[in-house]
Amino acid sequence: MNLPRGAVMALGFTSLAALTIPHSVTVAAAQAPVADSVSAARANPANWPARPATLALDSAVERRIDELLAAMSLEQKVGQIIQADIGSVTSDDVYRYHLGSVLNGGNSDPGGRYNAPAKDWLAAADAFYAASMRPNGKLPRIPVIWGSDAVHGHNNVVGATLFPHNIGLGAARNPDLIRRIGAATAIEMRVTGLDWTFAPTLAVVRDDRWGRTYEGFGEAPEIATSYAAPLIEGLQGRIGDKDWLRGPHIIATAKHFLGDGGTHGGKDQGDAEMPEAQLRDLFSPPYLPALDAGVQSVMVSFSSWNGVKMHGNRSLLTGVMKERWNFDGFLVGDWNGHGQVAGCTATDCAAAAVAGLDMYMAPDSWKDLYRTTLAHARDGTLPMARLDDAVRRILRVKLRAGLFEAGKPSDRPYGGRFELLGSKEHRALAREAVRESLVLLKNASGLLPLKPEATILVAGDGADNLTKQTGGWTLSWQGTGTKRSDFPNAESIWEGIAAEVKAAGGSAMLSPDGRYTKKPDVAIVVFGEDPYAEFQGDRPDVGYDDPKSLALLRSLKAEGVPTVAVFLSGRAMWVNPFLNASDAFVAAWLPGSEGGGVADMLFGKAEFRGKLPYSWPKTSDQTAVNVGDADYDPLFAYGFGLTSTDNGDLAPLSEARASVAAVDPGVLFAAGKPGSGRRLLLGAPGALSTNPGPQLIEARGADRAAQEDSVRLRWTGAGTAVAAIVQDSPTDLSRQSNGDLALELDVRVDTPPSAEVSLVMGCGAKCAGGFPLRAMLTEAAKSRKWTRIAIPLRCFEKAGVDMARVETPLSITTSGKLDLILSSARIVSPSGPVLQCK
């Protein structure tokens, strides 16, 4: 088989050191017409419920905005509508480009440390604020606002209280609890100087394959609809109160508008294919109480409706949200989401603002976006009236929040009161939320509640594992890579159980693999999904596969030990074999920092009252089973949940698992072989095969941690030769490129390259882009140690790769000599430093 020729074509690179990628910006490019020219995706606002404005405009505020607008430069107006990520912007940039806002993406933290201490957050907030207020000639000074995903507590900051993710709160069916959680979260954000949360998610989730299922309160609109107002009032305070949007309160965001949970196949950033009435009736109800409660910002969804990206949908953004619903706050975009609008790129997209977007979330793209947007404002592609309206909305929110007079974040109420992060009261509230969120699915012979005076074995890889129990959006975007010491104000499930058992005079033993010396009276086995976020959590079905935990449950059963399964997950999953193998089964979702809340329930400190917010599947391919379906046939219905006095017996269930093609787009090479659907090919450019003979290049198995878990590639130097991972059908990596995912290679270099080496990604005929690698490999050869090279996918995109059709995700070419061992090549959220391609 021949490698597509383009994949190994000569590259236009020059210097390796900086990985500098030249890219030009087309400043005056005319924008494609806005997206609602596609009629299937054009809503008719008259079909949507009318709603009056929440508040009459305050004439003093509007006058002040008029004055500000009159005094602002065009540059300042453009800066105001752009939000940059703290990983890609300095406070000096905020000053120079007049940026209106910054955010910290899930992987961005002060100083680049995922576990930066709270005081560093506050210092960063002060620095950004000071930059925005630094005198600049005659220009008015406008305070910056900082947005953060405080989606289950102030989850980016070490020591914060971590509430159960929304899926668990949905099970609680308790709006008052939700109000108090909002209030506690707002205070913890204020402690670190932050103004604004990108929460609540009001998604109604219809297909549990979606990696964001746990961010939604449920599959029917009613739960999110009943929670929207209390949560927003908890976060923002109540309209009319003196401390609305200030003091202990912050600004909230309803997201993601609209239809994020309704995409085809549960695909993240996918397409909600449905008639207008369905979009309206299933997905919009929670937004109405959110607006009534005065939510000040709404985030636009990454997803499409009938093939058109929401960021370009004027009929919904302007027609419905602003005109029909009289929303007078501002619409913020999602992470470079504007770049996905037809005819746009992340750095050039007037169409989104024309459609109604007020603030671009342009994490790493802000600088070029600023330039192109300025040009569009000058030439009228972005009409001045629209720009002024966007700025007006942002200023209105800042004025309502009192930011112009608030002083620096550390001087505001609660600023720097670090003792409030993970305070006793907040943790007690989180523990209460855990108790209310657990759903009891099985309780054969009334095994629960357990007696804490008993001898109890606590097993499973989730028992003493805060990473797992807190889930995604915890200190890091994916929630991975954390360690026990990152959670000073938390208790694992094991720790919670141990404390209660000890207090009652019983005995508890922790044994993740379930081995014991003294036979226990009962075993609690905690297991479940590893953390994930967004599309990285998308799955081909809802079958839960975990042979280790299943074997553990079965062996305990065989030994006559009654077992309680505690299942951690971000969605309802097919677990029939696990239900069969356990006596009691508790869906614990992603409970957060308070493992003691789980212990409370197991020992009967409170009665189970959680009710399923999502229907529980009967088969592993029942991915979109929702209450109200015509042929509704789940294993446990929406709203199901036992109490400990109910008959909790369950007849044996079928263990037949529907098969799926589980292709992991992220694995290019691992465990000694190419990822599924991929092959390793070698040879001269244009003549690759699996076994070309040793003339130019050869491949042999090599050992790193296990036998033949790696491949040794040796280029002889007798001519130009390539080693490539190729696939028959192209992969769409465009979503993966819109963020910080990287191609990560683990290599060891035994003989340094004797000539330049190129690393290339290919996307079909005459389509490729890449980087020189020689200097890096030479460096690696000096230590002869395993070296990790991580190149952000967006660098390949900038280098010309069409990420929507990658055919050769990796090829390495040289005409010189080179001896290199490759142990893994993956597309991942990088755990270490990445190369820069600015």
Q: Is 360 in the site for ligand BGC (CB under 6 A)?
A: no
Q: Is 807 in the site for ligand BGC (CB under 6 A)?
A: no
Q: How far is the CB of 264 from ligand BGC (least distance, A)?
A: 18
β-pair partners for 747: 787, 822
Closest by Cα among 267, 261, 314, 269 to 287: 261
Q: Residues 6 or more apart from 96 whose CB is under 8 A from it? A: none
Question: d(Cα 361, Cα 357) in Å, to the nearest integer?
Answer: 10
Q: How far is the CB of 746 from ligand BGC (least distance, A)?
A: 21
Q: How far is the CB of 108 from ligand BGC (least distance, A)?
A: 6
Closest by Cα among 410, 369, 394 to 120: 410
**Which C-beta is closer to ligand BGC: that of 367 or that of 735?**
735
Which residues in the 235-274 window bind ligand BGC by CB under 6 A? 255
Q: Which amino acid is at 37?
A: S
Distances (CA, A) of 588 to 172, 467, 616: 12, 15, 13
Q: Which of 198, 244, 327, 527 binds ligand BGC (CB under 6 A)?
A: 198
Q: How far is the CB of 326 from ligand BGC (least distance, A)?
A: 24
Residue with tokens 């912050």: 250
**Which C-beta is closer to ligand BGC: that of 151 or that of 579?**
151
Q: How far is the CB of 302 from ligand BGC (least distance, A)?
A: 6
Q: Are strands 673-674 and 145-148 parallel, antiparallel or unpaired?
A: unpaired
Q: Assign 3-class secondary structure to 483-521.
A: CHHHCCCCECHHHHHHHHHHHHCCEEEECCCCCCCCCCC
Question: d(Cα 688, Cα 95) in Å, to the nearest integer?
Answer: 53
**Which C-beta is closer to ligand BGC: that of 267 or that of 817?**
267
Q: How far is the CB of 795 from ligand BGC (least distance, A)?
A: 14
631 neighbors 625 (Cβ within 8 angstroms): no
Which residues in the 299-338 window bind ligand BGC by CB under 6 A? 302, 334-335
Which residues in the 715-774 window bind ligand BGC by CB under 6 A? 738-740
**Which C-beta is closer to ligand BGC: that of 255 or that of 400?**
255
**Which C-beta is closer to ligand BGC: that of 474 or that of 738?**
738
Q: Which of 4, 79, 100, 105 binds ligand BGC (CB under 6 A)?
A: 105
Nearest-10 crossing angle of helices 384-400, 59-71:
130
Binding segment for ligand BGC among 105-113, 284-292, 618-626, 643-651 (CB under 6 A)? 105-113
Nearest residue to ligand BGC, by Cβ distance, number only? 739
Q: How far is the CB of 175 from ligand BGC (least distance, A)?
A: 23
Q: Is 477 in the site for ligand BGC (CB under 6 A)?
A: yes
**Which C-beta is closer to ligand BGC: that of 424 or that of 838?**
838
**Which C-beta is closer to ligand BGC: that of 447 or that of 803?**
803
Binding segment for ligand BGC among 5-13, 16-24, 104-112, 787-795 (CB under 6 A)? 104-112
Q: How many CB atoms lie within 10 A of CB 654?
A: 10
Residue with tokens 């209460």: 432
Annotate each residue in 646-675 with x if it binds ligand BGC (CB under 6 A) or - if it does not, as one string: ------------------------------
Q: How far is the CB of 256 from ligand BGC (least distance, A)?
A: 6
Which residues in the 128-187 window bind ligand BGC by CB under 6 A? 149
Long-range contact list for 85-91, CB < 8 A, 24+ apart? 85/363, 85/364, 85/366, 86/110, 86/124, 86/128, 86/146, 87/112, 87/363, 87/364, 88/363, 88/364, 88/366, 89/366, 91/127, 91/128, 91/130, 91/131
Question: d(Cα 116, Cα 159) in Å, to the nearest integer?
Answer: 10
**Catalytic site positions:** 334, 534
Total of residues contacting ligand BGC (CB under 6 A): 15
**Which C-beta is closer to ligand BGC: that of 252 or that of 501?**
252
Element of type H or E holding 527: strand 522-528
Nearest-10 crossing angle of helices 493-504, 595-602:
50
Q: Which residues bind ligand BGC (CB under 6 A)?
A: 103, 105-107, 149, 198, 255, 302, 334-335, 477, 534, 738-740
